[in-house]
Amino acid sequence: MAIRSDQGIVLRSFPFGEADRVVVILSPNHGKLRTVAKGIRKTKSRFGGRLEPFTHVDLVLYEGRNLDTITQVSVIETFSHLRDDLDQVIAAGTMVEAVDAVASEGEPSLRLFLLLQRGLRALDQGETSSDLVTAFLLKLAEVIGLAPALDFCASCGRQAQTLRFGFAAGGAVCDNCPTEGAVRLRPGLTAYLSVLAEADLADLPQPDPRFSGEAMGIARRFVEYHLERRLSSLAVLDE
């Protein structure tokens, strides 16, 4: 069997067989990896807590026919601070879930990897505003080629005032365009979203409580609409 090294951020894992887990990892080089950690569910596993979700790890893998087996793992970055706070863990879970939904197996995904790394790092450094997740989702949409129109009308392309948002239309729409299913927005919301879409995740502008909640709702529904699935971590935030 061939041995290779790789690295990535752990997205999730699930039990496999008696004592093993399948660990799903986003690698910058090979996209989504499904790997097996043998014996990880035994009390004295040699992996310890190193394959917990959100951990950036360096791996040595035995290549298998279907799944690669992890033989060595070392931690590159733990993002340990974000684990101390439930809201931060939920926000990280949303990022990981969205990435998991769009990443493909066997396809390099450097931009997606770097986006996730920056998002987790911002959380780890104490960013608590929901604007971080909003900005993350808008950037994720851009990485997969689905950036919503925010500075112009998604329907006619004009730089008109946009007070509605069409999920199927692909973004903000002006009042001249009859767009079925478009929702009305608070004036100024598209500009707020546009700033977040361009912002550095590590240096977000001061959140504005008039816009943050609605901005998150729009970004989330937009990504959900195009991924055709609900982001269940965000559903937890609703409750």
Judged by the rule CB under 5 A, the positions of this chain that interact with Zn ion are 153, 155-156, 174, 177
By C-beta, is 70 or 153 nearer to Zn ion?
153
Smallest distance, Å, CB 140 to Zn ion?
25
Per-residue b or e along 53-77, where b marks 16 or more CB atoms closer than 10 Å to that residue's CB: bbbbbebebbeeeebbbbeebeeee
By C-beta, is 91 or 218 nearer to Zn ion?
218
Smallest distance, Å, CB 13 to Zn ion?
46
- Residue 165: which residues within 8 A CB-CB, separation 6 or more? 148, 171, 172, 173, 182, 183, 185, 189, 190, 218, 222
Question: 56-62 and 162-166 as β-strands: parallel, antiparallel, unpaired?
Answer: unpaired
By C-beta, is 154 or 231 nearer to Zn ion?
154
CA 93, CA 105: separation in Å to the nearest integer? 20
Smallest distance, Å, CB 175 to Zn ion?
8
DSSP 192: H
Smallest distance, Å, CB 149 to Zn ion?
10
By C-beta, is 99 or 189 nearer to Zn ion?
189
By C-beta, is 128 or 176 nearer to Zn ion?
176
Contact 190, 162 (CB under 8 A): yes
Beta strands in the chain (DSSP E): 3-16, 20-27, 31-37, 56-62, 68-77, 162-166, 171-174, 183-184
**DSSP per residue, 13-53:** EEEETTTEEEEEEEETTTEEEEEEETTTTSTT-TTTTTTST
Smallest distance, Å, CB 153 to Zn ion?
3
By C-beta, is 31 or 170 nearer to Zn ion?
170
Smallest distance, Å, CB 194 to Zn ion?
16
Half-sphere exposure of 162 (CA within 13 A, CB side): 29
